[in-house]
Amino acid sequence: MNDLLERYLGAVCSYFLGFKKKRVYDDLKYHIQSSVHQYDDLEDLLVNYGHPRSIALSYGYRPIIQHIFNPKVVSIIERIVLLISGIYLFFSTLFYLEQFNCLPFQDSHQVIATLNTSNIIALLLSHPFLVMISIAVIAIISLILADQKYKVPQEIDPLWSLQKLYDLPHQSHYPSHVAETIFMIIFTIFFIFYSIFFSRDIIIQIQHESYQMIHLMTYFFQPFIMIIFVDYIIDITKKIYTKKYLKYSTLINLFTLISLTIFVVNSGFLHDYLLPLNININYTFVNFFIIGALIMIYTISLYKLLRNLKSYRSLFRS
């Protein structure tokens, strides 16, 4: 019975974030446990309490977007975005790893040679930020157009029953975005300063044998940064994780970790690319931002990989 209560509490609290979620959980659990003696069993109490969304509304939940999108359309758009972004990330990574001369296998040079013979492909791979932004914009437009064509009723079914109570998923299926949001706030602030710093002509001013590689690194990191933002935006919209989403997200974060590891190990990064610290402050800042970018991408990708694996495992629970 406690499991059933936790499922119900999880369904209600899925509408909230952060400290508000904890307050609602504690208050609702207290009131339910205080009232349980008035009913024959917990099921009757939870059915009489009402639909989880209705309870959430009574605690102050107000949806940011009132429109109800077709869930099938949303799911298809999500998968397409993650798939196209993943494909672009793969070829972009291959392209830049070859530029750094740190690919661990030789056959890929044939692929790179093909890429370099196409001006269009080379142009796309040379502007990862613009490409990823374009993918996001096209996805949003496609979502709006497809949703208009395949509309769903905007009225939410308020009916609540014992069967719907039993159908509630395990409480572990409801994600908590608190830790990831904190990571993303730090991640965003860091890369704002990162972009401001490297938008200057600092690379041109640096008279060091590795300055061209440092310049390439600022482009190499961009697809990883953008796909982390795309994945986070998709993630934050989910009240319940699906196995398919967790698979896509896990593959992308695993690929990110492997790619960065290949780059760091095979490029001799720490030995060859770091600038002397005793020349001027700009050299120190370059080192700080490059190493910081690697640590930021590593940290959030590793966190999401472990979180996805844990969430995926919990989907098998009854």
* Range in 5-19, 160-174, 209-223 with the lowest mean pLDDT: 209-223
CB 68 within 8 A of CB 85: no
The candidate with the shortest Cα–Cα distance to 204, out of 95, 281, 282, is 282
pTM > 0.85: yes or no: no
Alpha helices in the chain (DSSP H): 2-13, 18-35, 42-49, 52-58, 71-99, 108-117, 119-125, 128-149, 162-166, 178-198, 202-205, 211-220, 222-236, 243-266, 269-272, 281-314
Q: Give the separation between CA 288 and CA 253, rounded to whole angstroms.
A: 23
pLDDT digits (tens, 9 = 90+) for 224-271: 998 899 889 888 888 788 788 888 889 999 999 998 888 888 776 666
pLDDT digits (tens, 9 = 90+) for 127-160: 888 888 888 899 899 988 998 888 887 777 677 8
Q: Quote the tokens at residue 102.
A: 């740190």
Q: Give the separation between CA 39 and CA 255, rounded to whole angstroms.
A: 53
> What is residue 126's DSSP assignment?
T
CB 96 within 8 A of CB 219: yes
Confidence (pLDDT) at 255: 92
Amino acid at 252: I
Positive/negative CA dihedral, 56, 58, 59, 62: positive
Q: Give the separation between CA 260 and CA 60, rounded to whole angstroms.
A: 43
Confidence (pLDDT) at 69: 83
CB 81 within 8 A of CB 135: yes
Confidence (pLDDT) at 200: 78
Positive/negative CA dihedral, 193, 78, 235, 57: positive
Q: Give the separation between CA 97 and CA 110, rounded to whole angstroms.
A: 14
Q: Quote the tokens at residue 278.
A: 């005793």
